[in-house]
Structure 1
Amino acid sequence: MGSIEPKDPFFSETELKRVLELWTAPEASRTLDERVSNSFYREFESDDAATQPVALPQSQKEVVTMKFCSTCHEEFAEKFSFCPVDGTPLNGFVPRDEESVTRAAAHEPAVVLPRQAAYAAAGTAAGGAAGAVAAKGEYHLTFIDDAGLTHRLIEAVKDIAHESELTWPEFKRDPFGFTKRMAVGYSKAGWRGLSQPNVATGVLSALFVVMTALLAVFWIDRVQTQRAEQAAITEEQLVDQLIDIPSEQPTPDPGTAGLNKGSGGGSKPKQEKAGGGGGGGRQEQKEASFGKTPQASLTVPQVVAPDPKPPA
């Protein structure tokens, strides 16, 4: 598989050049060119030039001394005597590359120790002192970075821009693969974070509290809206009742006699059948009298005899 047969075709120089032209490689930074130029001048000019300090650019990196905390395993600047996180005394050092604008001499090589060896040495040196301080139970101050919020935000944006510049060629070469790898990586990182103890419980608790607060706000708003609508309806009903007051009725007239109106006399509301005859007021159905009116006589009594049939 790895052998080359005599009949295998070889690519011509023109095709190779065309392939190399399609190859996308990041350009060399200006800082690297300046560093190479400074190194060349220091090596080939004169011994006096090598001993003189050389101005490094703003982004030039040099090895600076860092102190290591054996408790939180973080590195801090040399000015710190105690760990800003947990207050452990900082002993030992760890070389670290940082941006600097100072002037460095060319012939003073910096001693760079391996990271693991430096961690081990720093942990051994600080172990005894940290144990003694922890046993005493003393109070340790926590130093907080006094950089402003705007400055930290600008630094974070610069770091993101720098990382984007580094990943742009890869994204341009294979956008789908890069997106897939990034999604898988962030998913695994998120799952590892949620897999830690109490992380999932804390996240769910926070989501529950936030959702409860939102539902409470929506419920209160809905209740207030319903109360406002009911108050408006009640107010409209009160207004309608005030508007529908009947007008004042006039005092009824007593009326005159003979008319069935008011308190005056007159016929009954329902007409009745006329009656009369022999019975008169005794309600007897007798035939009406005919003839002339009887003559007055002293022999005939003027008082009607009592009726043997009293009314029921």
Structure 2
Amino acid sequence: MSSIEPKDPLFSEAELKRVLELWVAPGPSRKLDERVSNSYYREFGSDDAATQPVALPQSQKEVVTMKFCSTCQEEFAEKFSFCPVDGTPLNGFVPKDEESVTRAAAHDPEVVLPHEVAYAASAAGAAAGGAAGAIVAKAEYHLTFIDDAGLTHRLIEAVKEVAHESELTWPEFKRDPLGFTKRMAVGYGEAGWRGLSQPNVATGVLSALFLVMTVLLAVFWIDRVQTRRSAEQAAITEDQLVDQLIDIPSEQPTPDPGTAG
């Protein structure tokens, strides 16, 4: 428990400053210094190794590399292998971030790192195929299909699945036909209601029904109008034919016989 009571006077700012001035920060641990020194010597090998030039790590993390599309003349990020606009393979290889150059590789000129060999091979391939720069030397592009089975095979599989489900539900239907039918109707009704209750689903369904009904009514109306016009045209043609049949020419005047010669 603290000995300071509410009635006791608080410490002044001068007393707090004097207490802080008396505080002495502890010095660094000697063992910590030894560990840092040992790590330093183990990294550089000797005391004077720090004065020798060391190759810095070669990294391109700060450089944003882009790929160029020869068709749409646009640049895209390195992650794209094909143009998102027209599907043209993006040209050019971007070398991966190279690892830090070690001291052993720097002192031994005959040591060749694996990533250097891969980069040299890719550079040689790119130079050889300069005329076809738009073709990327990667795996061939194939379209991905959800299911490449034929229509007949898929229809047979669907029929088999329905038959299997019917076999599973047949004992229950045989035991209680009315209850099974009622439960099925309730289940399908709830599923349909859940589907229609989702946002914009009811509006889309009603719009589709309205559009279909409008098209059907338009087709029926056009067919009725054409039928009526055809009937009227046929009636007119028949009237003209009847008029031609009953049109009797008027009596012609008898020609003058003239004087006998």
- More helix per residue: 2
Normalising by structure 2, we get a TM-score of 0.41
- More strand per residue: 1
